[in-house]
Structure 1
């Protein structure tokens, strides 16, 4: 991740950084990495069955966070601007509650009895969302930034101290995270097929790519087939 070049025709990778995926389909193998990022974020936050977890952003990474947090037994709330994405969170990630951005503070307060979630993970990569997330965490809770921006985030120190928050960053995934996702897929505990919403042949990619970027396409994860 420290160098450009992932979409090159050829790439050299140290053998120590390769992992065997015997028993997994090509579709399953291709989805290990984004799901491992979600697994890493949940581990960083030390999610347990006692936690109420809010995941902000229902994109591919946010969804990966949700399914991993659900495995840990947490009460799970998904937040996004897109109603269709929130419906997918219910169906695939089995979240307990969904909130559409707009009245999130009052909705969160109602869902948690005024306590707010003990753990909030923001996977939006949106500066406004990441700033507002400080107001959505319970006192003594943890805020984890999984999405990132190329800029600065500011917050009121008095609010941060009043809530005695723990602020964390989560970046990429470790080998253990990859292995954990592979085990979940192999054991049948993680069905990745619904996660793939769009497909095309390699020679069709240039034509399809721009359309996939538009919200109306409702892409969760697109797969390019050789």
Structure 2
């Protein structure tokens, strides 16, 4: 079973997700977290409720003649077929399974069967096509360290399997890291299992150290 989720998106991130203003890569990470986090589902529902109340409180403006006629013409048209809402099947809270939202974008159903690309010893990556921002899976071998880095923009990371530790604490499967340019850290994977994360960014990372910076064009994160 997935361990208790300790780390969550900030309220600002959830409100941006509710408003549809996150880049696609980052929205994917939030959406996958929501599939297993009841706490954030409740926060999202409240955010959407607040947004609905704000829309309802806006003062109505009178329609011009042209606009009024266009609306009346639309009302005269036949009603379209009703769209049936899609009800998601219950999601088993298991750390080893790929979240349903993510699985639709991947070429295999198991993490070990994915076409991972080695970027440096102990680190593998799989890019995910997104219209906005950069999304990718990152696999850090058990006990290995990422290079020390900060962020030129915002990074959202969801731990899918295993876990890591850094200056911000211990992150396990299901936990969410909501990071910006103020954070510098070095994730270290747990000793007993590879750490697999889903990350979405709106700008590249900023690595510390000349070797890491030289490798960044090849790592492409």
Query: What TM-score range do you get, normalising by the shorter chain?
Result: under 0.3
More helix by share: 1
> Could you state the TM-score of these two structures normalised by the residue count of structure 2?
0.26
Query: Higher relative contact order by CA 8 Å / sep ≥ 6: 1 or 2?
Result: 2
Between structure 1 and structure 2, the one with the greater Rg is 2
More strand by percentage: 2
Structure-1-length-normalised TM-score: 0.25
